[in-house]
Structure 1
Amino acid sequence: MYILVTLADVVQIPPSEFHKPSIRAIEDFVNTKYSDKVIHKVGLCIAFHSLISASEGLIGHGTGIVNVNVDFRLLVFRPFKGEILRGTISHSNMEGIYLSMDFFEDIIVPPPLLFDNTTWGTDDAGTEAFIWRTDNGEGGENEFFFDRAEKCYMRVEQEEWNDLSPQMKRPDDYDMDRRDKYGLKVGPYRIMASMMHSGLGPTLWWLGDEAPAEEATDAMELDGDMEA
């Protein structure tokens, strides 16, 4: 899910940052520039990881800004094909199921990548959703719903990249509200996932009564990590 990427850049440290240790000033610069941004064909940058090397600082003429050539490692979110991820269904429509991992929301499961015999319909509460129907062995059917806010396991199938840098845009691409075939705004990085194998889909299907307990345990671990 996460990889380390080595990058090189010129870090600019203004006089107002001189009170910081050099490594801290470099880390702050890298995090400000890269965190929560997508690098094309690299992934979603999370945070600075470690410094590999740094040159002597050169003071810019008339500005007092120190320029440092650095090589560093960056923690990047980029799951590999076939990796199993867990996310939450944010919404659905006839074009597919859209999922969120809290920090990353450009994940979609199109209908062809759902279980066989999955159709678009209405659940018990009258809400439209995808429904997976299976034979119950007694001449009837079991219905399993892909409801909103359900936590799901999904398998990464494909990456989609869009270079949105100004030099790569065509004149007709400057509409920031431009939508793609799924009705979503065009973003720099998207994951196409599937839920068509045993164990995938809403965790409640497979874990039953254990699912709420597992989610509560995950929440407690997360709270513990934040307090630490």
Structure 2
Amino acid sequence: MCVSVYDIRSIEGGSIHPGEGSSTYTVSFRLLMFKPFVGEVLVGRISGYDDKGLHVSLDFFSDICIPGHLMQYDTIRVPDGRWMLKTEDGDELYLDLDDEIRFLVSSIKYPSVPVEQKEDDPPFAPMQIVGSIKGDGLGLLAWWAADEEEAEADEEEAEADEEEVGEQ
């Protein structure tokens, strides 16, 4: 998917072909493209949710969904419409709007352009990404931030203990 024209390197030509009323140019340019691959890990923001799962946005691209069956094992839909993960400790971790989420690209779809589209249909999405948050390190960034801080504190404590032993 083309995100932006990076630059235009050259424009040549300007010829008019017989029988045509428009001029033709040869243009050399570079594009900024977005083409994730299956298995890539991306970070986005939760932009919505429904019965099927979460909707995620990368600011410049928002046709990403994480279906309920590709979330952590104990993730359920609660009556207020949000999704919640119940941990082994009994904690309830909610997936709220605008939370940053790390997900794995499970599949990429390029649907065919519809011949006709009803007025109330959502805009056509030329590329759709299906994501997954099953696995270590995936899910809300806030879930893993506490674990990373604990790991860093444990490492610092171990280094301090080694220095004390070395001094003795």
TM-score, normalised with respect to structure 1:
0.56
Aligned positions of 1:43-192 closer than 5 A? 44-50=1-7, 55-58=12-15, 66-122=23-79, 127-136=80-89, 141-164=90-113, 169=115, 173-178=116-121, 186-192=124-130
Q: Tell me by how many angstroms 1:208 deviates.
A: 3.1
1:52 to partner: Cα distance: 6.6
The 3 A distance-change label for structure 1 pair 210 and 177 is farther
- Find the residue that maps to 2:97 and give its secondary structure: coil
Instruction: Give the alignment's Cα RMSD to 1 decimal.
Output: 3.0
Q: Secondary structure at the match of 1:206?
A: helix
Percent identity (aligned): 30
Measured after TM superposition, the shift of residue 85 of structure 1 is 0.9
Q: Deviations over 1:21-73 (max 9, x none)?
A: xxxxxxxxxxxxxxxxxxxxxxx212223557654332579xx9753123433
Higher-Rg structure is 2
Aligned residue pairs total 148
Tell me the distance in 1 between the aligned counterparts of 2:24 and 2:55.
Answer: 43
In the alignment, the residues of structure 1 paired with residue 70 and residue 34 of structure 2 have an alpha-carbon distance, to the nearest angstrom, of 23
Distance 1:102 1:50 in 2: 22
- 1:79-127 deviation digits (Å, cap 9, x = unpaired): 11111111111111221100111111111000110011211115xxxx4
TM-score (norm 2): 0.74
Return the alpha-carbon distance in structure 1 between the equivalents of residues 50 and 59 of structure 2. Answer: 20
Counterpart CA distance in 1 for 2:143 and 2:86 is 13
Paired AA for residue 91 in structure 2:
N
Query: d(CA) in 1 for partners of 2:143 and 2:87?
Result: 13
CA distance 1:76–1:135, change in 2 (3 Å): same
Structure 2 gap ranges (5+): 150-168
The residue type equivalent to 2:6 in the other structure is H
Amino acid in the other structure paired with 1:134: T
Q: Which runs of 5+ in 1 are unaligned?
A: 1-43, 179-183, 212-228
Change (3 A) 1:112 1:82: same
